[in-house]
Structure 1
Amino acid sequence: MYIMSQQEEIINKIAQDKIAFDLGIQLLLEDPEYNFKSIFTTLTNYIFNAIPEKTNYNTETYQNAISTIPLKPTYTPIVLLKIFPTRVAFYKLAELPENENKKILTSLLWIFKVTDTERRNTECKNGCGHFWHELE
């Protein structure tokens, strides 16, 4: 069985409201083993798996997640997410300078929280077998 890293566990607990969003971001950023690229990759994979529409990853839930990110809508990561197709936006996010990392992770973590909540309330409502939905 796959064992989640501490960061993966924090991300999933945030998505499931078992850790407050702001506290979760702080825990991820202050982790002694913090690695932006690792967290970025994890969140990207999680988001692409949580969105049911695999053709273009552009669902109403995804768009709602972007429009409710708890940051200023003029911040670069949010602008990129709004104006580019999902995969292109994520590629562009990965290319932003380091001073954008916190905003990028906040944006992606929020998107995952919203999209995974939707999935848990629809596809996974009657049990799904996803071990990460069984966190204590």
Structure 2
Amino acid sequence: MTETSGEDGRVFPRETEQVVNEVAQDLRTLDDGAAWFSGLSLAGRQEVLREVAGYAMQAHITAADGRAGVARSGVKPTANPSVMICMDPPRSGFSNLPADEHVKAFRVLVSVFAVADTRRRDTYCKGTCGHTWHNLPAAAKRP
């Protein structure tokens, strides 16, 4: 998977997919993922937030996943992204939050995705999964 960004500061989807799934599977720390995210341009961060929100929705997050993810994220439960993800149904529009809330939104979205995706890997996909993003090699573990 590519590790590069476009010349316009946007991130290619496969890079985002790799980083998010590594964080979700504890192959990369949330802090490392947030540092990667922080290094992106404004347009890149907005694109990643849209993408990660899509991953979370595809994982069929629940309000309980939202609460567990917020607790895991290190973001205050009263922060805008935390409130948005815990609503039933969860709100969208994370990329429209002010730029100073983007890192919080990333941490919340990735953490909630990790909770929901772990549940799905442990139930629906257990032992029969062919999803490449559910089968990342442990050797890819990053600090």
Could you say whether these structures have the same fold, taking a TM-score greater than 0.5 normalized by the shorter chain as the test? yes
Kindly state the Cα deviation for residue 29 of structure 1 after the two structures are TM-superposed. Answer: 2.1
Aligned equivalents of 2:13, 2:50: Cα separation in 1: 14
> Residue 27 of structure 1: which of 11, 19, 36 is its match?
36
Match of 1:117 in 2: 118
Report matched runs for 1:1-136 at 5 Å: 5-31=14-40, 35-51=44-60, 58=62, 60-83=64-87, 85-86=89-90, 89-91=91-93, 93-136=94-137
Aligned equivalents of 2:95, 2:37: Cα separation in 1: 18
Structure 1 residue runs without a partner (length 5+): 52-56
Do the aligned residues in 2 keep the contact of 1:7 with 1:28 (CA within 8 Å)? no
Structure 2 residue runs without a partner (length 5+): 1-11, 138-143
Do the aligned residues in 2 keep the contact of 1:77 with 1:104 (CA within 8 Å)? yes
Do the aligned residues in 2 keep the contact of 1:10 with 1:28 (CA within 8 Å)? no
Structure 1 residues 77 and 59: CA distance shift in structure 2, 3 A: closer
Do the aligned residues in 1 keep the contact of 2:70 with 2:76 (CA within 8 Å)? no
Percent identical residues: 28
Structure 1 residues 76 and 111: CA distance shift in structure 2, 3 A: same
CA-based RMSD: 2.5
| Equivalences, count | 126
